[in-house]
Chains A and B, each alone.
Chain A
Amino acid sequence: MLTILNPLMRIVEIPMLALQRLLGINRLAWAFLLPNLVLFGLFAFLPVILNVFYATTGSDNVLLEARPYIGARNFESLTDCGNYLDANTCREDKFWRAVFNTIWFVTLQVGIMVGFALLTAVILNRDIRARGFFRSVFFFPVLLSPVVVALIWKWILQREGVLNAFLDWTGAGGINWLVDAGWAFGWSVFISVWAHMGFYTLILLAGLQAIPRDVYEAAEMDGASAWRTFRRITLPLLSPTMLVVLVLALIKGVQTFDEIYAFTGGGPGTATTFIIQYIYERGFAGAPRLFGLAAAASLLVAGVLVLLTLAQLWANRRNVDG
C-alpha cells in the first residue's frame, strides 16, 4: 500500500512545499481551512451581518444601496405598545400576537413533548416485548416531511375528515376542528409533538443507556424504590442529555413554521400564527415587503434564543457543581 502511496504523496508534496514556503507554516493552516470558511461565511455568517443591515434600514427595496438608514426605527415599531400584555395596544399587533402564540405554543409543546419523550424512552429502555419495533414506530414520524405531516393531519381533522366521519358514525357528532381557534391551537401543539417526539425519545434513550447498569443494581441493594431510583439516580444522571434535549426542543419550537403553516395557514384568524410565520409574511408574503421589520423581528428572536440557551447552560452548571 505504502509503495503505491509514496509516489502519490511525492506529487502532492511538491506544490505543498512550495505553498508552505510562500505562506509560512502558520498561514498554511488557514489555507486548508479556507474552503470551509468561505462556505460558512457565505451562507451563515454573512446573512447574519446582512440581517443587521436590513434591520437598520427602511423602504421595501431589496438592494442595500437603495435602503436609507433609519437606525432603530424598525425595533421601535415592533416594540411600540401601550400595554405589552395586550396585543391590541401595539402598533405591530400581529407581531405581538405571534409572540404570545409562540410563547404559549413553545411552553406547551416543549413541556408535553419532553415529558412524553422521557416517559417513552424510560419504557423503551426496559426489557419489553418487541422493543425494536416500538422504537421504530415512535421514530417514524420524524422521517416525514413537515408538509406531509400537515397533510396527513388535515386529512384527519378537516370538516369532512376521518375523525369527524368516525365521530358521526359513533353518533357523537363532528366538530369543526380547524375552524375553532382553541381546537386549532391544541391540534397544532399535538401534531408538532407527534412529529418531533421520536427524535427526542431517541436522544433520551441513548442517555438512559449510558447510565451504568450496576449503579441501578447498587440502588436496588440500597433499597431505593422505583420512584426514588428514578428521581435520585436516573434524572440527575440524565440531566446533561435532558439539557441538550430542552435546548434543541426550545430552539426548534420557536422556529416552528412549515408544518403549522401548511396545516392551518396560521388561522383561524391569527390563532396559530407563530413568530417565524410573522417574519415570513412581513418579509416575503405581504405587500409592501417590509424586509427591515422582518429582519428586526428575526434578530429579536435570535437574541431571545441566545439568552434562553445561556440561562439553561448556567442552570445546568449550577446543578452539576452545586
Chain B
Amino acid sequence: MARVELNRVRKSFGDVEVIKGIDLDVQHGEFCVFVGPSGCGKSTLLRMISGLEPISGGDIVIGDEVVNRIPAADRGLAMVFQSYALYPHMTVRQNLSFGLENTQTPKAEIRETVDRVARMLQIDMLLDRRPKDLSGGQRQRVAIGRAVVREPRVFLFDEPLSNLDAELRVDMRKEITALHRRLQNTMIYVTHDQVEAMTMADKIAVLRQGELEQFGRPLDLYNRPRNLFVAGFIGSPKMNFLSGRIEDAALRLDSGETLSLPATGFDLSEGRAVTLGVRPNHLDIAEGGPLPLTVSSVEQLGGESYVYGALSDGTDLTLHLSGQVGAEVGETLHIAPRGDEIHLFDSDTGLSLRRD
C-alpha cells in the first residue's frame, strides 16, 4: 500500500517559509492534484515528497515508512519533470533503461520491460531515436515511460503538460488518466491549471502561499468551497463575488439591492459583513430579478453565451447562459441567482458561512 501522508511538513529557504506546515493524506491508488497560483509552493511540496528538496520540519510518510532521511532514489518514486529532463545524449531505449540499469536488473528483463512499456505508450518505433529528434508530445511520452518502467510506488508529475500546445494537452490529459486507471498507482500531479485539476483528480489539494486551503474531491471543492480563495480559484469562468451585510435575515448589497437568503444552511448573524459568491452559470435573466446589470459585452458561442456587465456600484458580474441570448450592449438586464446555488463567506475571514 503506497499512501502518502504529510504531517505538518514545512520548508524554509533562509528566513522565508515557503511551506507552512501542511497536513495531507493521499490514499493508495488515488490521483491527487496539487493546484494553486504560481509561487504557492506546489512544486516545492512535490519536490519535498520526491526527496530532491530536503524538508525543514514535519514528517513525510510513504507506505508505512517515514522517508524524511531516505534519499530520493530509495523512496520508490518516479517523477515526470516539466522540462521532461530526458538524457539528451541517450536514445529513447537508453533513457528508459537507465533507471533499471542502476538497480542491476538483468539485461533481458530490462529489454522486455522497456519494450512492453514502449508499446503501451506507443513509442516503440522511436526507441532508437534521441530526444532532439522527437516532437514535444513524443518527449512527454518518453518522460512518462521512463517513470513507468521503474514500477514506482508513487508517480510524481511536475506540471508535465505545460510545454505542450492546447490540443496535445487535452490528449495527454486523457492518456495520463487512462494510465492511472490501468496502473492503479498512487499519483501526485502538480498543475496551475484548474481545468486539468478538475478533469484528472480524484482529490485536489488547493495551495496558496505555502498553506493548504482545501483538500477534497473536485466536485466538493466546486460545490462547497471552504473559503473565498478556493471559490475563486476553482471553476471557470470565475465565481462572481458581491459584498454586503446581513440585515433582517436578508442580504443588503453594497450596491443597494436586497436579496432574500435561504432560511437554513448558513450562519446569518445580524449585521455581519458577508460576501456572496455565485457562479456565472447560476445566474439567470429574470423578469423582476433583484440585480440590475448594465451589459458591457456579450459573447455568443452558439450553444452557450457569456454576458459581462456591472451593477450600479461598479461590481463586475459574468453570466454563463446556455443557448443564445438577445442581450445588447448598454441594455440593463434584471438577473437573479438561483436560490440554492449561492455561497456566503465572512468578508473578514474569507471563510464559508455554510453550516455543515
**B166-186 with Cβ < 8 A to chain A:** none
Does B89 sit at the interface, judged by CB under 8 A? yes
B73, A222: Cβ atoms closer than 8 Å: yes
Cα(A237)–Cα(B103), bound, Å: 22
A228 adjacent to B89 (CB under 8 Å): no
Determine if A223 and B85 form an interchain contact, defined as CB atoms under 8 angstroms apart: no
Report A-chain residues with C-beta under 8 Å of the C-beta of B146.
218, 222
Nearest neighbor of A319 in chain B, beta-carbon distance: B89
Given A222-B146, A222-B150, A223-B103: A217 in contact with B85 (beta carbons within 8 A): yes
Closest chain A residue to B149 by CB distance? A222
Cα distance, A320 to B132, chains bound together (Å): 13
B85 touches A214 (CB 8 A): yes
Interface residues on B, range: 20 to 34
In the complex, what residue of chain A is closest to B98 when comparing beta carbons?
A222
CB of B98 within 8 A of CB of A215, answer no
Residues from 296 to 322 in A contacting B, C-beta threshold 8 Å: 320
B72 within 8 A of A: yes
Interchain CB contact under 8 A, A224 and B72: no
> Given the complex, which residues of A lie within 8 Å of B103, measured CB to CB?
223
From the candidates A218, A224, A228, A232, name the one contacting B79 in the complex (CB within 8 A): A218
Q: Is A36 an interface residue (CB 8 A)?
A: no
Docked CA distance A224–B83 (Å): 20
Q: Which residues of A contact B99 (CB under 8 A)?
A: 221-223
Q: Are A223 and B87 neighbours in the complex by a CB distance under 8 Å?
A: no
Collect the chain A residues with CB atoms within 8 Å of residue B87's CB. Answer: 215, 218-219, 232-233
* B73 x A221 contact (CB < 8 A): yes
Q: Are B77 and A228 in contact (CB under 8 A)?
A: no
- The residues in A between 253 and 283 inclusive whose CB is less than 8 angstroms from any CB of B are none
**A225 at the A/B interface (Cβ < 8 Å)?**
yes
Number of interface residues, chain A, beta carbon within 8 A? 18
Chain A residues with CB under 8 A of B88:
215, 237
Q: Which chain B residues border A219 with CB–CB below 8 Å?
A: 87, 98
In the assembled complex, which residues on chain B have CB atoms less than 8 Å from the CB atom of A215?
85-88
Interface centre among A217, A222, A233, A320 (most CB of B within 10 A): A222
B85 close to A218 (CB less than 8 A) = yes
Chain A residues within an 8 Å CB radius of B71 = 220
Taken together as a complex, chains A and B put the C-alpha atoms of A232 and B94 apart, in Å, by 11
- CB of A209, distance to nearest CB on chain B (Å): 16
Q: Indicate whether A71 reaches chain B with its CB closer than 8 angstroms.
A: no
C-alpha spacing A214/B139, complex, angstroms:
15
Q: Is the CB of A220 within 8 A of B81?
A: no
Contact of B72 among A212, A221, A225, A237 (CB under 8 A): A221
Q: Which residue of B lies closest to A239 (CB)?
A: B89
Identify which of residues 235-251 in chain A touch chain B, using a CB-to-CB cut-off of 8 Å.
Answer: 236-237
Q: How far is the CA of A20 from the CA of B89 in the complex (A)?
A: 49
Minimal beta-carbon separation of B39 from chain A (angstroms): 19
User: Are B52 and A220 within 8 A (Cβ)?
Assistant: yes
A-facing residues in B111-160 (Cβ within 8 Å): 146, 150
| Beta-carbon nearest neighbor of B71 in chain A | A220
Number of A-B contacts (CB under 8 A): 56
Closest to A215 in B: B85
The docked-state distance in angstroms from the alpha carbon of A221 to that of B78 is 6
Which residues of A have CB within 8 Å of B74? Answer: 223
**Contact of B50 with A by CB under 8 A:** yes
CA distance A225 to B73 in the complex (A): 9
Partner of A217, one of B52, B78, B98, B150: B52
B81 contacts A214, CB within 8 Å? Answer: yes
Q: Which residue of B lies closest to A216 (CB)?
A: B85
A31 to B272, CA, bound (A): 84
Pair A221/B102 contact, Cβ less than 8 Å: no
> With a CB–CB cut-off of 8 A, which chain B residues contact A232?
87, 98
Contact B98 A221 (CB under 8 A): no
Q: Which A193-233 residues have C-beta < 8 A from chain B?
A: 212, 214-215, 217-225, 228, 232-233
Q: Determine the residue in chain A with the shortest Cβ distance to B73.
A: A223
Alpha-carbon gap, A222 to B105, bound state (A): 13
A220 touches B73 (CB 8 A): yes
In the complex, what distance in Å separates the CA atom of A214 from the CA atom of B143?
Answer: 12
The CA-CA distance from A233 to B150 in the complex, in Å, is: 19
* Residues 50-99 of B contacting A (Cβ, < 8 Å): 50, 52, 71-74, 77-79, 81, 83, 85-89, 98-99
Task: For the complex, give the distance between the alpha carbons of A223 and B73 in Å.
Answer: 4
Q: Across the A-B interface, give the 3 residue pairs with the lowest CB-CB distance, nearest first.
A: A223-B73, A222-B99, A214-B85
| 10 A-B pairs (CB sep. < 8 Å) | A212-B85, A214-B83, A215-B88, A217-B81, A218-B81, A218-B86, A220-B72, A222-B98, A223-B102, A237-B89
- Given A217-B52, A220-B71, A221-B73, 17 additional A-B pairs, CB 8 A: A214-B81, A217-B79, A218-B81, A218-B85, A218-B87, A219-B87, A220-B73, A221-B77, A221-B78, A222-B73, A222-B99, A222-B146, A223-B102, A223-B103, A224-B102, A236-B89, A237-B89
